[in-house]
Structure 1
Amino acid sequence: MNVFFIRLVVGALLLDPVMSSGSGKHSLWVLASYISGPTQFPEFTAVVMLDDIQVRYYDSQINQLTRVGGGAEKGAGLDLGQEGAFILQEIFSNLRKRLNLVKDQMNLTAAGVHVQQRITGCELLPGGQPAFIMFRDGANGQDADSLQYNTTHFAYAAAASWGFSFEAMKQTYLQALYANIYLPFCARALRHLLDREKHVVMRRVRPRVRLMTKQVVGGARLTCLATDFYPRHINLTLQRDGVPVDADRLSGGSVLPNGNGLYQVRKALTIDGEELRRKHVYTCTAAHLSLDNRLDVRWRAESLRTHRVHVLSVPAVLVVAAALLMVLLWRRGAGSEAVTMETDEQTITDPQ
């Protein structure tokens, strides 16, 4: 997955609630790449995402749809007849044709390595009705054109630097194609995969919430962390004495993948020494679909303890060394007189 796909997928995850079952909507995405030129990669690959979970993989070398996590299912294995195989082959052929157009338009050498990519997919509303389908293409990491269709309107856009454009007749044909073939097929595939993979996309994993403190120069840094939760939608807030901390004082806040199919998010606040001395109570609160109630973790600020290293001058060092030598000589003399001294050990608590 190169920069083009990373930009599209990360943007969708951060901004679009369709990518997660937490919103009640569900989506199906295909991330496809066609590569021309000498590489060790397959000529064509496609990754199938159900909401934010990768569930299937296809490439032109194995020529079959593989279930992520083990097992292989050919196109018919999805109970969608020949439509699934036909659409994958149509994407393959269309990306190859488009890349040839790009190379001609941009006067690119045929001997180099070039990549044409597409993200395409659809969404279902909470009631299960299809609502939206789209594709967006890029060549060599740059946006080319995009198409969106829902039940109320059709929109097509092309980057100014690319030569892709459709006249009115072509756009009418594409609208009929997406309305009568692609959107119904995508909706059926989405419902089928939801039934197959509901144990993954419908799961609820409780977040682990912690408040961590770290001493920094002039104060402390307080971090509110929620980790290992699913789905990705979460409301994480940091409060001081029951009042939300201003957003402009916080850093972080983006929900990020954990690398294990779960998510994490953190928000951090820097507290100066004066604020610490006021001994406010800070509360990290998480609201998530897996929780019946909000999850609160509290921390009370304490006065700042500074740890200074005092640099002694050379005369002072000599005085200290002489004093230590006298103490050692005195103890040795006391030992020779066989006098036993007992001391009481006390624990002194810092009044701060």
Structure 2
Amino acid sequence: MDKLLVLFLLSLPSAAPKGSHSFWLLATYMRGQTPFPQFSYILMLDDVRVLYYNGDTRTFIRRGNTTDENHVFDSNVLLTISDYIGSFFRGKWEIATNSLNKTDVKGALVLQRLVLCEMKDNGKPGQMITRDAFEGFTTDELRYIDNNFTYQGTLNVTAQVLKIHLEVSMWRHKHLYLPTCLKTLKGYTETRKNQISRKVKPKIRLFQKDQSFGSQVSCLATGFYPRHISLSMLRDGQPVSDHEITGGDLLPNDDGTYQMRKILRISAAEQRKKHKYTCTATHLSLDNKLDISLEYDHGTPLKSMIISVLTALALVLILGAVAAVILYRKGDRQHLKKVWTQYFDGIKLQKPSEETSLNNVQ
């Protein structure tokens, strides 16, 4: 389930600009037969998971750190916020199931809430976003930026119900959610600074693979942290347009780093033009831009040539050995001597002396 949460977050646009930090809450409310708590959430500093909440037991579980972090947040305040979110889910459940005609569906159904707050690199608050979803589809979103609220929603509710909901929600965002989020964010940036400030250089590969339509050039960057990276492809030194490239999704690795792949399809006609392709990467861990080049070779690949030569040489050795055995059995030693001499001269090896190659043959 943790991987699903990370993938959900990665599917969102990057909220925090470089140099700032963000704090995330992803809450899940499920009804039906599942092995998970009905209500739970996970807290993340940037992309580092720091805390898990089990709504069934009302307990907090630290993630990724063994040191005491109880001073980072007020557990009573966080429990109050947890109760608010749980109550919201129970009320929203009826609205969502009726609005989206899900009342008669059997099995597990899922409501989710994503909350994000930012702290800019100068220590001042950035935007706060609260986004709700039902069965993977966004139902409404509330943004709080510079003391201004904006709302978008798709649920079918009356204007009066929506007005009351927004008034309560905006008051809680302004006086409870945002102050708590920023205070907790500042605390975790101190206790987890080694995790969030680490820099791991990307490993870049540029490789080509033949396809039925021509060929495919892939640029792969993997093993990098933090997750912000600029990856582009050049053709003869000029940027390849975005509509020609597929891929580009940011994906997590098992070790906490990230990977990204971009792919360019090349037709047979384009392939004959012998362009030079380059993959270029810019990342916080790199002092300078990293360029990896690939020049397409339309001749016989070197590896194939080596294999062909080795195969032919092996065949010559086998045929020579078979001929030697046949001649020896016939007792034609003089002819055998001639064959061996021609054989060794043919593969440019030193000709064996008669004493060592023939006289010892009995």
TM over 0.5: yes
Q: Is 1:256 aligned to 2:251, yes or no?
A: yes
SS in 1 for 2:58: coil
Alignment check: 8 A CA contact 1:144 1:162 kept = no
Matched residue, 2:345: 343
Compare CA radii of gyration and give the structure with the larger one. 2
Matched residue, 1:117: 112
Q: Is 1:64 aligned to 2:66, yes or no?
A: no
Alignment check: 8 A CA contact 1:206 1:230 kept = yes
Matched residue, 1:16: 14
Given candidates 63, 78, 83, the residue that maps to 2:77 is 83
Matched residue, 2:42: 47
Decide whether aligned partners of structure 1 residues 60 and 305 sit closer, same or farther in structure 2, where only a CA change above 3 A counts. Answer: same
Decide whether aligned partners of structure 1 residues 235 and 181 sit closer, same or farther in structure 2, where only a CA change above 3 A counts. Answer: same
SS in 1 for 2:227: coil
- The structural deviation recorded for 1:4 is 10
- The structural deviation recorded for 1:186 is 0.9
Given candidates 146, 149, 160, the residue that maps to 1:151 is 146
- The count of corresponding residues between Structure 1 and Structure 2 is 322
In 2, the alpha carbon distance for the partners of 1:111 and 1:225 equals 42
Match of 2:53, as an amino acid?
Y
In 2, the alpha carbon distance for the partners of 1:107 and 1:211 equals 47
Matched residue, 1:194: 189
Residue deviations 1:265-316, cap 9 Å, x none? 1222344556555544332221111111111222332224399xxxxxxxxx
- The structural deviation recorded for 1:262 is 1.0
Is the deviation greater in 293-302 or in 200-209? 293-302
Alignment check: 8 A CA contact 1:27 1:123 kept = yes
1:1-352 matches, within 5 Å, as 9-12=9-12, 15-18=13-16, 23-69=18-64, 71=66, 76-80=70-74, 82-103=76-97, 106=101, 108=103, 113-161=108-156, 166=161, 168=163, 171-217=166-212, 219-272=214-267, 279-305=274-300, 332=327, 337-338=335-336, 339=338, 340-341=341-342, 342-345=344-347
Alignment check: 8 A CA contact 1:281 1:298 kept = yes
Alignment check: 8 A CA contact 2:50 2:65 kept = no
Equivalent pairs: percent with the same residue?
Answer: 32
Matched residue, 2:351: none
- The structural deviation recorded for 1:243 is 2.1
Match of 1:9, as an amino acid?
L
In 2, the alpha carbon distance for the partners of 1:304 and 1:89 equals 68
Alignment check: 8 A CA contact 1:49 1:56 kept = yes
TM-score (norm 1): 0.77
Alignment check: 8 A CA contact 1:136 1:147 kept = yes
Decide whether aligned partners of structure 1 residues 144 and 301 sit closer, same or farther in structure 2, where only a CA change above 3 A counts. Answer: closer
In 2, the alpha carbon distance for the partners of 1:159 and 1:6 equals 25
Residue deviations 1:199-247, cap 9 Å, x none? 1222111101122222334644322211110111112222233222333
Match of 2:345, as an amino acid?
T
In 1, the alpha carbon distance for the partners of 2:109 and 2:119 equals 34
SS in 1 for 2:83: helix
Superposed CA RMSD: 3.6
Decide whether aligned partners of structure 1 residues 170 and 255 sit closer, same or farther in structure 2, where only a CA change above 3 A counts. Answer: closer
Alignment check: 8 A CA contact 1:65 1:72 kept = no
Match of 1:148, as an amino acid?
R
Alignment check: 8 A CA contact 1:204 1:231 kept = yes
- The structural deviation recorded for 1:152 is 3.9
5+ long unaligned stretches in structure 2 = 305-318, 349-362
Alignment check: 8 A CA contact 2:7 2:251 kept = no
Alignment check: 8 A CA contact 1:28 1:51 kept = yes
5+ long unaligned stretches in structure 1 = 308-323, 347-352
Alignment check: 8 A CA contact 2:96 2:155 kept = no
In 1, the alpha carbon distance for the partners of 2:216 and 2:108 equals 48
In 2, the alpha carbon distance for the partners of 1:2 and 1:203 equals 22
Match of 1:209, as an amino acid?
I
In 2, the alpha carbon distance for the partners of 1:218 and 1:186 equals 52
- The structural deviation recorded for 1:183 is 0.9
Alignment check: 8 A CA contact 2:10 2:251 kept = no
